[in-house]
A and B are shown apart, each in its own frame.
Chain A
Amino acid sequence: MAGVELKNLSKSYGDVEVLHDINLSIADGEFVVFVGPSGCGKSTLLRMIAGLEEVTGGDLLIGEKRANDLSPRQRDIAMVFQSYALYPQMTVAENMGFSLSLEKRSKKEIAEKVQEAADALKLGPFLNRKPGQLSGGQRQRVAIGRAIVRNPQVFLLDEPLSNLDAALRSETRVEISELHQRMGVTMIYVTHDQVEAMTMADRIVVLNGGYIEQVGSPMDLYNHPATEFVAGFIGSPKMNFIKGRYAVAAGTTTLGVRPEHLTIGEGDDTWEGKVTLVERLGHDTILYVRVPDAGILTVSLNGQHNQNVGDTVRLRPNPDFIHRFDDQGKPNAADLVQGQG
């Protein structure tokens, strides 16, 4: 096992730089998730660590060894691809044992290691099947098994759940987290799904436009977003951003309030608006409320509520959880302001 260190790492295609001055230290055994919108550079960064993309600037260290010029095979890493990338002509067992066969390990050793991984992933009954005869979830487990068998220093996962349906995705999410706890190996996971990032990561790296916006634990990012972008990206439903008179009254450019920090209430410190849409999820009720001068605000109410479209409601922001951002999208301070009525 090993940690990974990125020092002033950058990536250019010709004259176009797509990743800028990335500095990050990933500890041995840590589960780090790269998250960000499409095109932010998270997959490119992962592929640079894997050795599939050339590093054009800075240093990449794996286990304190400079890895910039090492081929993927010399880096002792394993990777799980979004498309599974299983060899279609090989059986599950052959897929999982392929890397070991390349290392010229004995057939007995390969069979033992494959069986061990297959048992851990409940793939035992499928070892003689070809990938085409498996479901999406089974294929994904084979791809994970192929990585486990190698016992790598670093485990890389590139959006491994995005081809699975919602139920299977949450199931596999748990399995990957358990796997990390069991193996204790360094894992770097790329996703655009902030729920995956929040639920699995020890630390999240939020990328935007080729820059790191913020690095921190899931709760750090949720409670103390370093930028307006992070505030909007982390949390579901996403944070409400309010400009105009309410923001000016609070002495800032933009106010940020998470939907779960808005409640229905009365009094001067509330904002009046009209319900435009209601989503009833059973455990939560999501209201979309048009507030004059603030736009449409999302409100997440715990439990079941009886508001309907067209109702007038008054929203009270929880004063302990209001974020203020300046015109650069940076927080004014770690301050909390009283909502204005």
Chain B
Amino acid sequence: MGRWVLLFILGVIAILMVSPLVLTVFTSLKPTTELVNPPWYPPISLTFEHYVRVWTEGGFSRYFFNTLLISVVDAIVMIVIASLAAYAMVFMEFRGKLVLQVLFLIGLMIPVTAIVLPLFQIVRSFGLLNTHLGVIFADLALAVSIFVFMFSSFFMGVPKALHEAARIDGATEFQIYRRVVMPIATPAVVTTALLEFLWSWNDLLLRLLLMTKDEMRTLSVGLLNFQGTMTRDVTGLSSGTVIMAIPVVLLFLFFQRHFVRGMTAGAVK
């Protein structure tokens, strides 16, 4: 009996979670004439005309490229920076280590919205407004703390003897990082890549703030084009949302196993 109640509750939660996605997909595939039907009605005759329109006239091909470029660079650079910093924190002794750890901790505590204006000023002072580089720097700076902690917790699970054995074998710290530690850190690497890619892919605030020119826009900003003060292009918004969601969903499905392992690394011995 208890099991059935549990299943029912889980079922309701699952429906609540999935229904916005299903409704969005339905709307994106409906011809305009079917929009008068209630939104939960499935499309009677399927059409991809909205996808084509959004991709070409809506500028989504350009936005997609911009988003992909920023997200991929974000993810790759974040893996390198965060893993190197975490390696130093875990395996090396140096002056000022504690101060650095505290600074990273502070980085975790400050919300982006609280520092939006100073961030804007800094990016502008570097002349990086309306450049991909400006957004990438801001993304990296704002998220590096959490990934340093994630890598640190993973590295703490790496037996110290491995590091020592490599030192005895004659490896430099960078050789140990590259040839001994990183090859076994796949779960942490995948988790960082996925999360940073996802955050970068979905972020609206920084892109809206730091890139005002149309040719520099990303998908999340591009979606706003379908929403005016008085009107709303529902089919355009829906197909744009689906276009934006597909890469992320595919990535998660593909790397799910590694992702879960990375998130739980360091939780138990």
Contacts and interface: CB of A to CB of B under 8 A. Distances in A.
B184 A89 contact: yes
Interface stretch (B69-77, B82-90, B163-171): B163-171
B230 interface: no
Interface in B163-188: 164-171, 175, 179-180, 183-184
A86 B180 CA distance: 10
Interface string A58-96: 000000000000011100011101110111110000000
Contacts of A332: none
A114 B256 CA distance: 39
Interface in A79-120: 79, 81-83, 85-89, 98-99, 102-103
Contacts of B164: 50, 52, 72, 79, 81, 85
Interface of B is mostly: helix
B159 A83 contact: yes
Given A88-B184, A89-B184, A102-B175, A83 B170 contact: no
A73 B167 contact: yes
B170 A52 contact: no
Nearest to B162: A85
Given A52-B164, A79-B165, A102-B175, A85 B183 contact: no
Contacts of B184: 88-89
Interface residues of A, number: 23
Contacts of B162: 85, 87
Contacts of A71: 167
B167 A85 contact: no
B161 interface: yes
A146 interface: yes
Contact of A73 (B159, B161, B171, B179): B171
A170 B196 CA distance: 53
Nearest to A102: B170
B154 to A, nearest CB: 14
A48 to B, nearest CB: 13
Given A87-B180, A89-B183, A89-B184, A81 B165 contact: yes
Given A73-B167, A77-B168, A87-B165, 16 more contacts: A50-B164, A50-B168, A52-B167, A72-B170, A79-B164, A79-B168, A81-B161, A81-B164, A81-B165, A83-B161, A85-B161, A86-B165, A87-B180, A99-B169, A146-B165, A146-B169
21 contacts: A52-B164, A72-B164, A72-B168, A72-B170, A73-B167, A73-B168, A73-B171, A79-B168, A83-B161, A85-B164, A86-B165, A87-B162, A87-B165, A87-B180, A88-B184, A89-B183, A89-B184, A98-B169, A102-B170, A102-B171, A146-B169
